[in-house]
Amino acid sequence: MFSPVIGQNAKRAAVREALDRHKVYITAQSFSAGAYQARVLVDGEAYWVDEFRLAQLKRGLSPAELELTPATDD
């Protein structure tokens, strides 16, 4: 049986989860030889990532969990 309280708690949990995720901003994109690369900004730090790592970041994994190295300024 579904109650309004259970529904409200589920909505609040979803909002809490979304707010706890890292914000991922794409600052540059590169397509070369069929490969995709993006420079992203996460918590004030820039990283170069491929399509797979970008998807993982968007799902909420942190750069530390993915063992990413910050991008150097060229």
Of all residues in the chain, the percent with pLDDT exceeding 70 is: 92
**Residue 44 backbone zone (phi > 0: left; psi -120 to 50: alpha; other: beta):** left
Distance CA(69)–CA(47), nearest Å, equals 7
Q: What is the pLDDT of residues 5-37, one digit of tens each?
A: 888 888 888 888 777 677 899 999 999 999 999
> What does the CA dihedral 59, 38, 68, 56 come to, rounded to 10 degrees?
20
Q: Return the pLDDT at 3.
A: 80
